[in-house]
Amino acid sequence: MNIVLLGSNGRLGSLIHNQLNAENIPTFALAKEILATKKDFQNFFSNLPENAIILDVSLPTGTEHLIEQVKQLNSEIKNKLKGIVIGTTGHTNAQQEKIKDLSKEIPICLVSNFSKGVFLFDQILNAKTSNGMTVCELAHSLGFDLALNEIHHTQKKDAPSGTAVSLANTANLPLERISSTRVGNVIGEHTLYFSQDSEMLEIKHSAHSRKLFALGAIQICKNIIAKSPNAGLLAKEEFFT
């Protein structure tokens, strides 16, 4: 496996880069300067070995430039790419359409959070209960009021977080039921509240180390290489395990 890493200078990107080096996984850092011109981009990818996968942990604009440049690669170079994993959130509708269009040629996996705990959180909400409803459907039918709160460090740019939006979609919650707090150096906390007049239930996930995101991102890349999926937008649920 060979990983092309976009966003290696960022907080998560640097952790991923260090972990890849620790695991002796060949890594090619894709600098933003290479994204700037078609010629430099094509030269960069023409020298890549086989079984390469792109891991994007940059910004929405970085994702957009990446998608536009990959779209212009010739078929021989595109065939080297086994997939693209995008861990960036906050894309505009137009950017999402570009991602969807490229996925017709290359497998693309959108992952709002690389945490296995958040993945499990989402699976719990979507689990079927004894009467056939999901946990959240049953909660709504029992009259519980649902709301989601997310807390992150002050440097996080998007609010609500991509993870909060994803969890809200699973819980069938409108975005106005999400509250966001930016304080200190909090890595990430997501809490879903189920409230009635006389009782309260909470499901909460807290990240204690950013390394878990690096490990999760690399594992998803490994699983995509191993499973070699066809082109399309990949369901992240299939590649956490």
Q: Which two tokens stand for residue 220?
A: 């998803």
Element (H, E) at 29: strand 27-30
Q: Per DSSP, what are the bridge partners of residue 182?
A: 152
Report the C-alpha gap between 134 and 166 in whole angstroms: 16
From the candidates 17, 82, 91, 156, give the one annotated as an active-site residue: 156
Report the C-alpha gap between 203 and 37 in whole angstroms: 46
- Which candidate, 8, 9, 19, places its Cα nearest to that of 212? 19
Task: Examine the residue annotation and report whether 140 is marked as an active-site residue of this protein.
Answer: no
Q: What is the DSSP letter of 102?
A: H
Q: Which two tokens stand for residue 80?
A: 């080297």
CA atoms within 13 A on the CB side of 59: 8
From the candidates 65, 82, 91, 152, give the one annotated as an active-site residue: 152
Query: Parallel, antiparallel, or unpaired for β 189-196 and 199-206?
Result: antiparallel
List the 27-30 sheet strands across, edge first: 27-30, 2-6, 52-56, 81-86, 107-110, 232-234
Task: Examine the residue annotation and report whether 71 is marked as an active-site residue of this protein.
Answer: no
Residue type, 86: I
- Which candidate, 56, 190, 186, places its Cα nearest to that of 120? 190
SS3 188: coil
Instruction: Name the residues annotated as catalytic.
Output: 152, 156
